[in-house]
Structures are given as structure tokens and as C-alpha cells.
Structure 1
Amino acid sequence: MVILAIGGVGRPVRALDPGENESWVTVEQFERVLDTVAGREDVGLTFDDGNSSDVEIALPRLVERELTAEFFPLAGRIGQWGFLDAEGLRKLVDAGMSIGSHGWAHRDWRRLDGSQARREFETAPKLLADLSGAPVRAYAPPFGAYDRRVLGRLRRSGATKVYTTEGGAASRDGWLRPRVEVRHDVDQEWIDNVLADREGLYRRAGRAIARVARLARF
């Protein structure tokens, strides 16, 4: 299957981090993506960062098309301006969406000290689970960055799914799942190419799996 990674939707209501605008799409672009994937069982949808647009813009459009998605908020930004709050998390869960963890502070998990690692891998998912009322066992490393040490920490944390941003096809039952990032310049041609390029996706997936196999020998 193909798993799409989406950042924010619509006009940002907060100041974006450097480069973050690359992962924001307009409402029109977002609706075009949803209309194309609606009814397809070979496409998954995920959302990173926990922007307030997840509930205000994305959720009603997902529900309208009878689509579900996995959301990966930053636990340390819950309740901050422009991000989801506890009520928003519960709205997502009540609508049939899933909650995973994007960590606490959007830092590179390959470069954590002991206290930072505990906050990213223990405190963040626990807070998200407590606020949403649903267990959190899926993770999406910030920047899609990981190495053997990160994978080991995720396994010890009880992760059942780990989402990256390497692109390519993903196994429905895979533990490590590559995603394709939806960028600010997405158009219908890009969508059609991503969903139709099965051979190319599987070639890239094969390279990713080989790379992961080397990393995962721990």
C-alpha cells in the first residue's frame, strides 16, 4: 500500500518553523487528495505535528468521505496556539481516527541524551494516551530520522508501528512503514503518479527494506 504523510492544511494560524511551509497544503489541494484516495483500500493517510487544522479542516472532510487516518501530534505542544488541545484529540478518537506519537519537542531522535529520550519515548506517548483516552503504540520519528539505536528504543517502548518518510510502498503488516510526503506543490498529476507508480514504489521499497534490515540487526 501507499501511505501519505500530511502536515498542515489551509492557512496557518501560527508562525511556522523554518521549512515547515513545505509540508502545508491548501484546502483545495487537500480535498483533491481525499477525493482521489476515497474508497481505495491500498492508501493510508497520516498527519504529523498535531496542527489545529487536523480537527478544524481535515477531520470533517475525512468523515464526509468515510475515511480514517492516523494522527501523530507533538505531545509538548498540545494546547499551544495553532495546535491540537485535549478536546481535539478526543474528537479525533471519537470519529474513529487513531492517535500516535510524534514525540515531545520535534527533535532528532538520533541525538538524544537520557532525559530527552525518556521524554520522547515514555512521557510523550503516555500524555497523548491519557488525554485522548486511547492507547498510543504507533510512532512517527520527527524528520523521518532514525538509526539502529532509535529502532531499539522504539521496540523497548512497545511500538507496534513506526512510520518513516522514505517513500515507497509499505506492507500492511510491517513494523517499519515508509510514507510518501505530501508537499505544498501537490497537484493531480503528482497524486496520480504516486498512486499509479506501483513498480517504482516497490523498487524503492526494496531498497528501503534492505537498508532497514542492516539497521535492525541489534
Structure 2
Amino acid sequence: MTAMLVNLTVHGIGAPERPLAPGEEATWVRVDQFDRVLDAVADRPDVRLTFDDGNSSDVEIALPRLVERGLRAEFFLLAGRIGSPGSVDEAGIEKLLAAGMSIGSHGWAHRDWRRLSEGEVGEELTRAPEALARQTGEPVRRVAIPFGSYDRTVLRRLRGTGVQRVYTSDGGLAREQDWLQARTSLSHDLDAVWISDVLGGSPGVRRKTRRAAAKLVKRFRG
């Protein structure tokens, strides 16, 4: 029987320490909301935790709480933001690795990968993971797509770079063995009902139908 997973994405926790882009606040959560999610998944081996954007809250708020609960997570960093105000720095990367966390690439500058210039393609898909590999001391072969924006061209380019796993923002369940992994982002208004819905993997027929249709469009457009 195929193992199914719930992949969750955290973007930011608590008060942001940098200016947010328009709409970005929708994926920031309060500390108490984050604690509630961690408590709900602490005994759920079918739940995977991922973090996007490399915000300083990854190290300052999330890391000690993960360690306290014996949880592991994968952190997808923006290579071009390392050390910037409000972002994870080199010391933070060392802390994540020392605690048993994994590092992946979220690209260089949080660009839409469907709208990259030729020069930006190399920076986002090749230079970024190489820079992170120098920071971590090991190859970086997993990526999370910014904005969840992809098409056939993006997927073809990623396969060409040899990445082992690609994370999206499509929502819903994922099969453990799949190269393309759907994730659900934490939202600013999450509550007990949201947690039950997402972790239960049963969002209702209409939402599942919309998700399936959106995935098909993304995979074959472009």
C-alpha cells in the first residue's frame, strides 16, 4: 500500500524582522498557532515539516521548539538572502545542521520560476543550490518552488539539474515516493478546524477536485 504524507510549509512565525512583500503576511503565524501545529504533529510520522524563505524565525522561534519535541524539518533557504536583516545567517545554518535539520534550496531571490530570464534561470536553479552546498558542506538536491508557480518548462529544467525532490504548494496529500511533492502552507488564520482538516487529509470533494485540476494545469502548461 502506498504511504501517504502530509507536507506542511511554514513561512514565518511571530513578528517579522523585515518588510514583507504584499500578501506575504497571509502565511505568517503567531507563536501560539505554531505551537498548536507542532503539538498536533508530534506523534504523526506521516507529517513532514518544511520551512520556506529562510526567515530568522526559523532559527530563533522554530528550532528550539522542534528540538524540544524531538522533531525534524527541512529548511528551504533563499541563497541570496543569507545574512540579510530578518533572514537566516551562516551561524543560523550551522545551528540548524547541528540540530539534525536538513537544508534545501528555495532559489536565489524569491522569483517566479515561470518568468525567469535566461540569466536568472542559472542563478535560481544552479547557483543557489551550489552556494547553499558550500554553506552546508554537502550537496543540496531538494528544492521548494517559490510561490508554488511551475509549469512543464520549470519541471523540465529541474529534472535537468538532477534534483532529487521538488516541493510545491499544491495542498493535499503526497505519496512518499513521488519526485513532485504537494504541500500545504500554514496560514495566518489557522485554528483547530484547519489543523483537523489538513491533518485529516479529507478536505472535501470540491476542494480535492479543485486541487487536482490545478495540479494538472500546472504540470502541462507552458
TM-score, with normalisation over the residues of structure 1?
A: 0.93
Any idea what SS the aligned residue of 1:84 has?
coil
- The aligned residue for residue 117 of structure 1 is 121
- Gapped regions of structure 1 (runs ≥ 5): none
**Change in CA separation of 1:192 and 1:94 when aligned onto 2, cut-off 3 Å:** same
Do the aligned partners of 1:143 and 1:165 also contact (CA within 8 Å) in 2?
yes
Do the aligned partners of 2:26 and 2:187 also contact (CA within 8 Å) in 1?
yes
Q: Displacement, 1:188? A: 1.3
> 1:41-100, CA deviations, whole angstroms, 9 ceiling, x for partnerless residues?
111111100001100100000011011111111111000000001111121111111111
Amino acid at match of 1:215: F
Amino acid at match of 1:76: G
- The aligned residue for residue 51 of structure 2 is 47
**Change in CA separation of 1:199 and 1:48 when aligned onto 2, cut-off 3 Å:** closer
User: In 2, distance between residues paired with 1:38 and 1:17?
Assistant: 31
Q: Does 1:139 align with 2:143?
A: yes
Q: 1:211 aligns with which of 191, 212, 216?
A: 216
- Gapped regions of structure 2 (runs ≥ 5): none
Any idea what SS the aligned residue of 2:175 has?
coil
List 4+ stretches of structure 1 deviating above 6 A.
none
- The aligned residue for residue 176 of structure 1 is 180
Do the aligned partners of 2:51 and 2:75 also contact (CA within 8 Å) in 1?
yes
Do the aligned partners of 1:163 and 1:179 also contact (CA within 8 Å) in 2?
yes
Do the aligned partners of 2:12 and 2:29 also contact (CA within 8 Å) in 1?
yes
Q: 2:90 aligns with which of 86, 92, 96?
A: 86
TM-score, with normalisation over the residues of structure 2?
A: 0.91
Q: Displacement, 1:134? A: 3.0
The Cα RMSD (Å) is: 2.2
Q: Displacement, 1:205? A: 9.6
**Change in CA separation of 1:210 and 1:12 when aligned onto 2, cut-off 3 Å:** closer
User: In 1, distance between residues paired with 2:210 and 2:9?
Assistant: 16
Q: Does 1:26 align with 2:19?
A: no
Do the aligned partners of 1:50 and 1:74 also contact (CA within 8 Å) in 2?
yes
